[in-house]
A and B are shown apart, each in its own frame.
Chain A
Amino acid sequence: MDSEDDMHDAHDVESLDDDFYSGDTPMGSEDGDAEYDFVDNESEDSEDVTSHRQQQSYTILSVSDIRQRQEEDIHRVSTVLSISRVAACVLLRHYKWSVSRVHDEWFADEENVRKVVGLLEKPVEMPNARELPCGICFESYSSNEMTAAACGHPFCSACWRGYVGTAISDGPGCLMLRCPDPSCGVAVGEDMIRMLASDEDKQKYSRYLLRSYIEDNRKTKWCPAPGCEFAVEFVMGSSSYDVTCNCSYSFCWNCTEEAHRPVDCATVAKWILKNCAESENMNWILANSKPCPKCKRPIEKNQGCMHITCTPPCKFEFCWLCLGAWSEHGERTGGFYACNRYEAAKQEGAYDESERRREMAKNSLERYTHYYERWATNQSSRQKALADLHSMQNEKLEKLSDRQSQPESQLKFIIEAWLQIVECRRVLKWTYAYGYYLLENEYAKRQFFEYLQGEAEAGLERLHQCAEKELQVYLEAEAPTKDFNYFRTKLAGLTSVTRNYFENLVRALETGLRDVGPSGNQANANKNTSPKSLLGGKGGKSGKAKVIGTSSRSGDEAWTMATIGLASTAPTRTRGRQTCARCANSTGRFGLCCLLLCD
């Protein structure tokens, strides 16, 4: 049995009191401080999570920050316990870098801690003889050629170097190195490593030590972005898990996937698994192919007649409709190209089962594809926007400032617009994963969700379009353009409107769309924006807008227009562009332009 496991068990029994204090169950303290258990305890559901976007609940740590903290912790333990720096390091590493835990354990039972960790109270001298045998190579050496850890078990320097080198190349386990004597458990600390390891191994060891400080500590994690060397310390009890590293990568601290607010970690995990799962391939095969009646390999019929010849070596010829041998087809079956066996049998219901299965698979695949495509498109759109943002920051802003004779400080609104686009693409992308898992039968919720998503999306498209295309004109202008101030107002306005839409969307999803009820209680969707005044546009009704409108009139079982304060001035979303009735500008999907900007 692993001695360390024994130690943990023993520790758990002895530390019952501590755990009692912290109000945690003893079971939970297996591998870390009770106080850090919040991650496990807090459930995924976002019922109580409200918008706390501004409040930063984490700290980004650079490598030098980490070293400094580690050094401080070691120093603290070393001072309080009056032990050497090396011993303090061994202790801290053993107790997962929790200073408080080291203190607690040490003062509760120092003797036991020393035994478990392998720290002797007093070092033992090497046997006092002129020549000593090395326990590894069995050669005898004079005692000044021998080295020993605090336990005094002598081994020759060459064997020590081999021992330490092997341990370091075996991985981070070298941080818990013990004396080679199998009956001895004395720790081999950093001082011995410095003395015995090669330069390269010393570097490796110190990297492992640094990594251990982040990886063993439940409050800290490495930023998962490739090549990023920052770590993130998370403040317990924070409401949102989203963190943004100094490398600009945003991720969820809880599941370390890319940031996915307002969608919860479980949904994201399911979605990611689904995207890579073989199951979708199987579904496609099921929906679009039939197995060869002879060799059972799936065949996709992508064109041509019903006469199918399976590929070699099978070469079986059969009818696609009835899957019977082609040789039986002819006059008797109503001609080669009209298999009446199939028609007859179909009428008798013989094919229903497999047809229905195929149909279902096809539908479910189409549904998935619908959401996946939108998810993926927003993902790539976000990447593009991110690149645009960078090029804007790094070159174009200067150019624009030059062309339009505007100080760069006056052009911040453009960066803000791009930041908003990047963030909105991220949110929008994840709402498609959310939508996929929203139950088909939650009709009211689905409608409300699709409405909010549709509004947010339309706003975003408009903003993106403005930032991407309309800006171009001012970039290419030879001389300052008069209506640049108009552009500024418009882009800033769109940025703020889009932000509001997305805040509504995020808030609605984070509260599980619970504002949707049969009785039509007041939703909070209209607290920030006033969709009624903003959306009083005109335009044709089509697509989803029509569905929404219908439900507002007929369904009192479902969410109604009144619940979000839109009533009869129903939002009109059309796929095409519209014209603003007052200023005759082309306005994209809503009749927003006028109310926002033309006045």
Chain B
Amino acid sequence: MASRNLPPRIIKETQRLLSEPAPGISASPSEENMRYFNVMILGPTQSPYEGGVFKLELFLPEEYPMAPPKVRFLTKIYHPNIDKLGRICLDILKDKWSPALQIRTVLLSIQALLSAPNPDDPLSDNIAKHWKTNEAEAVETAKEWTRLYASGA
């Protein structure tokens, strides 16, 4: 098994993620590589992503937890802080990372980002512009994309 050389912290985190999952979030390690997680996040209620199921991938690099995990959306999503490759603009995934954070806190932060898009710190300029000039229309597009790409569970 690939878990032989796994640091105890990762094993503990994985066990807790599986036994006490956070609401609306599931994360399970891949069978081939215990550092690679298949993640699903439910679109938060009262957000344009409500009703959608979003797939992500999460990878724990060798330096983890001193370095942040690498996370990416696999499901297409219309969001000012997520680009078309699914990369996420989130401070704790970059310079604000702290080894005291965990997979769980990262995924909760991503879920919160879905509830509160931040067009002032955009990753995708076009979407952010759309968000700032016509929020209602941008929200409609986000809902549309959720229906189109995130509904087939």
Contact = CB atoms under 8 A, between A and B. Distances in A.
Interface of A: 1-2, 135-139, 153, 155, 159, 162-163, 165-166, 173, 180-182
Contacts of A2: 91
Contact of B99 (A1, A139, A163, A173): A163
B99 A162 contact: yes
B55 to A, nearest CB: 26
Nearest to A153: B100
Given A162-B99, A181-B98, A136 B65 contact: yes
Interface string B116-143: 0000010000000000000000000000
A182 B100 contact: yes
A135 B101 CA distance: 9
Contact of A166 (B7, B12, B66): B66
B70 to A, nearest CB: 16
Contacts of B66: 162-163, 165-166
Given A136-B9, A137-B7, A137-B9, A182 B63 contact: no
B121 A135 contact: no
A182 B9 contact: no
B8 A137 contact: yes
5 contacts: A2-B91, A135-B100, A136-B99, A137-B8, A182-B98
B92 interface: yes
Nearest to A155: B100
Contacts of A165: 66
10 shortest interchain CB distances as A-B pairs: A166-B66, A135-B100, A136-B99, A180-B100, A182-B98, A137-B9, A138-B12, A180-B98, A138-B9, A162-B66
B42 interface: no
A165 B63 CA distance: 12
B67 interface: yes
Contacts of A181: 98, 100
Given A136-B100, A166-B66, A182 B8 contact: no
Nearest to B120: A1
A568 B147 CA distance: 92
Contacts of B65: 136-137
Interface in B60-95: 63, 65-67, 91-92, 95
Given A137-B65, A181-B98, 9 more contacts: A2-B91, A136-B100, A137-B7, A137-B9, A139-B9, A155-B100, A165-B66, A182-B96, A182-B98
Contacts of A139: 8-9
A580 B109 CA distance: 88
Nearest to A173: B95
A139 B8 CA distance: 8
A-side interface mostly: loop
A162 B99 CA distance: 9
Contacts of A166: 63, 66-67
Contacts of B12: 138
B121 A1 contact: yes
Contacts of A159: 99
Contacts of B101: 182
B8 A180 contact: no
B92 A182 contact: yes
A180 B99 contact: yes
A138 B8 contact: yes
A3 to B, nearest CB: 9
A197 to B, nearest CB: 14
Contacts of A135: 100
A157 to B, nearest CB: 14
Interface centre among A153, A163, A165 (most CB of B within 10 A): A163
A133 to B, nearest CB: 10
Contacts of B99: 136, 159, 162-163, 180
Contacts of B98: 180-182
Contacts of B100: 135-136, 153, 155, 180-182
B101 to A, nearest CB: 6
Nearest to B12: A138
A63 B67 CA distance: 34
Contacts of A182: 92, 96, 98, 100-101, 105
A278 to B, nearest CB: 28
Interface centre among B7, B98, B105 (most CB of A within 10 A): B98
Nearest to B66: A166
Contacts of B7: 137
Interface string B98-111: 11110001000000
B144 to A, nearest CB: 30
Nearest to A178: B98
A450 B13 CA distance: 77
B18 to A, nearest CB: 15
A223 B110 CA distance: 46
Nearest to B11: A138
A155 B100 CA distance: 9
B98 to A, nearest CB: 5
Interface string B1-17: 00000011100110000
A153 B98 CA distance: 13
B49 to A, nearest CB: 23
Interface centre among A1, A138, A159, A162 (most CB of B within 10 A): A138
A7 to B, nearest CB: 15
Contacts of A155: 100
A9 B95 CA distance: 20
A331 to B, nearest CB: 63
Nearest to B13: A138
A181 B12 CA distance: 19
Nearest to B7: A137
A451 B92 CA distance: 65
A159 B65 CA distance: 9
A182 B67 CA distance: 14
Interface centre among B9, B66, B67, B92 (most CB of A within 10 A): B66
A166 B98 CA distance: 11
A135 B100 CA distance: 5
A1 B121 CA distance: 8
A362 B92 CA distance: 56
Contacts of B92: 182
A181 B100 CA distance: 6
B96 to A, nearest CB: 8
Nearest to A167: B66
Contacts of B121: 1
Interface string B47-67: 000000000000000010111
A138 B95 CA distance: 22
A163 B7 CA distance: 16
B16 to A, nearest CB: 9
Contacts of B96: 182
Contacts of A173: 95
A158 to B, nearest CB: 11
Contacts of A163: 66, 99
